[in-house]
């Protein structure tokens, strides 16, 4: 019986929960006075493992195995569990496999038309409209004038930049927060249908792009798949940038 055991530490504990069914974990807070059997019921909702078909193991913050939580009648607090430790759930159901809950391709997607979505009163869009947030935020004439001026200045600057970029020029692309600079050849300069403003289409020397020169069914230039990309002109530097020796001819 649970009354035969006592809690020997604090009333609550914050632990990491991992599972043999998933590759990710979660941090959870549990009462120390629940039984291991009750804990398994809570972990079933978290991990997807059936409570009657799971084993529990306790690890310290450094990953050292401290032992099983193998007495369903015992209180969680009767084990030496402390904040920062990890409870690992071992699935014993042979019909369940690692990663089955992470494969989103098996999830039936809910789709709704734009017209139907705009009519819903419980949508994020309706909430933003009601509270005048985001695109629905009211802007004073003075604020709108500043925004229009900034937009015009940005468009003028982009137009100036693209005027100095010509088709077939060698270039180097350096986008903020990108892991590396990429070299290639300019294949398109101008406006597009997928986003406003001016864009530069580049055929990269390596397969570091996202397309083959077409976006959303509209072709702007032609290149091998994954060699093409579109970037804003401020991130493109035109110059004498020879193709880097990638060592592909070495044995």
What's the pLDDT score for residue 133?
80
Q: What is the pLDDT at residue 183?
A: 95
* Residue 1: predicted pLDDT: 47
User: pLDDT at position 251, please?
Assistant: 43
Per-residue pLDDT of the chain (251 residues; tens, 9 = 90+): 455 555 455 689 999 999 988 877 889 999 999 999 999 999 998 888 889 999 999 999 899 999 999 999 999 999 999 999 999 999 887 765 555 555 555 556 677 888 888 888 888 888 887 877 877 777 788 888 888 899 899 989 999 999 999 999 999 999 887 778 899 999 999 999 999 999 999 999 999 999 999 999 999 999 999 999 999 999 999 999 998 765 544 44
pLDDT number for residue 250: 47
Q: How many helices (H) and strands (E) does the chain have?
A: 4, 12
- pTM, 2 dp: 0.46
Cα torsion 129, 133, 134, 140: sign: positive
pLDDT of residue 100: 53
Cα pseudo-dihedral 33, 38, 44, 50, rounded to 10: 150
CB atoms within 10 A of CB 87: 25
pLDDT of residue 46: 87
């Amino acid at each position: 019986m649970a009354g035969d055991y006592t809690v020997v530490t604090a009333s609550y504990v914050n632990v990491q929960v991992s599972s043999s069914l998933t590759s990710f974990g979660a941090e959870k807070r549990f009462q120390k006075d629940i039984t291991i059997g009750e804990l398994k019921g809570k972990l079933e909702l978290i991990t997807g493992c059936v409570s009657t078909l799971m084993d529990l193991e306790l690890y310290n913050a450094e990953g050292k195995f401290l032992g099983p939580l193998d007495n369903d009648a015992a209180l969680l607090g009767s084990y030496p569990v402390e904040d920062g430790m990890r409870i690992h759930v071992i699935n014993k159901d042979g019909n369940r496999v690692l990663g089955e809950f992470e494969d989103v391709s098996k999830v039936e997607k809910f789709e709704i038309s734009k017209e139907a979505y705009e009519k819903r009163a419980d949508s994020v869009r309706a909430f933003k409209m009601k509270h005048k947030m985001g695109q629905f935020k009211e802007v004073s004439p003075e604020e709108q004038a500043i925004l229009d001026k900034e937009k015009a200045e940005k468009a003028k600057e982009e137009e100036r930049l693209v005027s100095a970029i010509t088709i077939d020029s060698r270039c180097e692309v350096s986008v903020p927060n990108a892991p590396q600079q990429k070299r290639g050849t300019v294949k398109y300069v101008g406006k597009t249908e997928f986003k406003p403003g001016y864009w530069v289409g580049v055929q990269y020397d390596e397969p570091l792009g996202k397309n083959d020169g077409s976006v959303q069914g509209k072709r702007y230039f032609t290149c091998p798949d994954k060699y093409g990309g579109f970037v804003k002109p401020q991130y493109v530097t035109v110059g004498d940038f020879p193709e880097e020796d990638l060592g592909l001819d070495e044995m």
